Structure 1
Amino acid sequence: MPQSHRSELIRALPYARRYARALTGSQPCGDLLVAESLRELVTQPRGRSSARHDLYRVISVKAAALEKNAPHNHTLPLSQRQLLLLTALEGLPSNQAAEILGIDPQIAVQQIDDAYKTIRSVSQTAILIIEDEPIIAMDIEDLVIRCGHTVAGIAHTQADAIALAKETKPGLILADINLGDGGNGMDAVAEIMRSMSVPVIFVTAYPECLLTGNTIEPAFVITKPFDPLMLAVATYQAITGGVPVP
């Protein structure tokens, strides 16, 4: 394999990790899929697609094999969940997502529309927002409500987040990483998880810092700013647990 393509694959790894973790619902499983996909691509001749798209494609195929071996009672079929993640989370146009998954582009558009309507009706929950900037917190609150969820509470500091979580028992936590002088969102979540189990989506302007694969990192990461579709897709995956592992 040419060195240029090898370098391109390495640059694509953070995006592949984000997709695979969201698809499987866990960092270890997602990162393992990425590592296996990377090893496979390194031994293959370079195709016409970009390295990033090649990684998405192989990850998607391997995830389909996992789900076939360990069926899960998802409301949405895997192909629709993959389409939603590729378009909403990874920001690909629907025609590129369709090409990666080997789906007719027109069918892909219809599946994305159908899937979005479905997840709005099946994944409503009470969300605890952890965000230190009041105006941004208000914007996130509006997005949460527009997605059909309720707001369990808004915490601006690490201490407030821990107290509110114990008080409200949210169905999901949406946490900013950097809380300024108010502490750290990841530390707040770590403390919360000592007394309860709850899905968590981390929000950051610098996702590549949380997608290195070198340490314990979040399973679900979305990038600021985000829109209702991205939030809805990430919430559905976080609540339903992603692709099951045999």
Structure 2
Amino acid sequence: MSNNSSVGLADTVGLHLPMLRRYARALTGNQTSGDRYALAALETVLAEPALIAEATDAKVALFNVFHMVWASSGAPVGQADNRLSAAAQAHMADLTPNSREALLLHFVEGFTAEQIGAIMQTDAEEALGLINMALREMTGTVSGRIMVIEDEAIIAMDIIAIVEAMGHQVTGVARTRKEAVALAKSDMPDLILADIHLADSSSGIDAVNDILAGFDHIPVIFITAFPERLLTGERPEPAFLINKPYSEEQVRSSVSQAMFFASTETLMESESN
């Protein structure tokens, strides 16, 4: 391969790598595990550059390589780090194979059914079937209490409507870092949906870090217009990211994924009944 070809391949892969890493960590529920599979996909590309260089759609080809690696490993989730996440992962074993992958590829990563078919080596009809199956199996299976950190009232109201329609309870809405920390202390949530830029120019990331310093194992979904800024590989990164402007389906699928991985006491109670 010539130097120019190598540079071209590196640029192409680099363009799509942040989104591949986001997808990988959403699948595994763990940054370390997600990056491990993303790295394995990159190593495969380096060994066989034609997989990307000769493809008509480089992004689809890169995700297809990832899926070949993912499937060959048995499509595992990240290592459970507490009894709640272990229960959630055991619960996920009952899901239809490949349905979760199709759901994320469509609603979070924005691929069409045809593209998902190419990525997962099936057809568009099967891809649509998997997406619909995931929606049926995951929505409403795990319910919990959700805290919203968002300074725009209209967006906050929209998010509340979406998650309440899924069967979750909203503990409240915080517009600033200070409000967010106070709300979490007064009413601890099972999950946090957080914007990045808040009303007083404070940071949703800082607010979440303050909250997590006092409460372990609360899953967080960040909502941002610039997800690539949080996927640099230079610091701890969130497992769940939603692009702004978002769709209802993105919120629903991300909340379902986060609830499955982090679980809640609600899940434990439902399993004991």
How does the TM-score come out when normalised to structure 2?
Answer: 0.81
Of residues 124, 138, 143, the one that matches 2:157 is: 138
1:178-189 aligned at under 5 Å gives the runs 178-181=197-200, 183-189=202-208
Which runs of 5 or more residues in structure 2 are unaligned? 80-88, 263-273
8 Å contact 1:178–1:184 — kept in the other structure?
yes
Size of the alignment, in residue pairs? Answer: 242
- Paired with 2:201 and 2:95, the residues of 1 have a C-alpha distance of 39
1:187-206 correspondence runs (5 A): 187-196=206-215, 197-206=217-226
Judge conservation of contact 1:19–1:56 (CA < 8 Å) in 2.
no
1:57 aligns with 2:68: no
Aligned to 1:217: 237
Secondary structure of 2:24's match? helix
1:27 is aligned to: 31
Distance of 1:199 and 1:77 partners within structure 2: 24
Shift >4 Å, 4+ stretches: 68-72
Change in Cα spacing, 1:68 to 1:223, as seen in structure 2 (3 Å) is closer
More RCO (CA 8 Å, sep 6+): 1
Distance, in Å, in 2 between the alignment partners of 1:157 and 1:68 is 37
Contact kept in structure 1, 2:224 and 2:242, CA below 8 Å: yes
Partner of 1:105: 124
| 2: CA distance, partners of 1:85 / 1:68 | 16
User: How much is the aligned-residue C-alpha RMSD, in angstroms?
Assistant: 2.1
Letter in 2 for 1:171: D
Flag the structure with larger Rg: 2
Letter in 1 for 2:138: I
Report what 2:100 is aligned to. 81
Residues 182 and 161 of structure 1: CA distance in aligned 2, closer, same or farther (over 3 Å): farther
| Kept after mapping to 2: 8 A contact 1:174/1:203 | yes
Distance 1:66 1:215, change over 3 A: farther
8 Å Cα contact 2:37-2:69 kept in structure 1: yes
TM-score under structure 1 length normalisation: 0.90
Does the CA contact (< 8 Å) of 1:132 and 1:182 recur in 2? no
Q: Which runs of 5+ in 1 are unaligned?
A: none
The whole-number CA distance in structure 1 between the counterparts of 2:260 and 2:42 is: 27
Q: CA deviation at 1:61?
A: 3.2
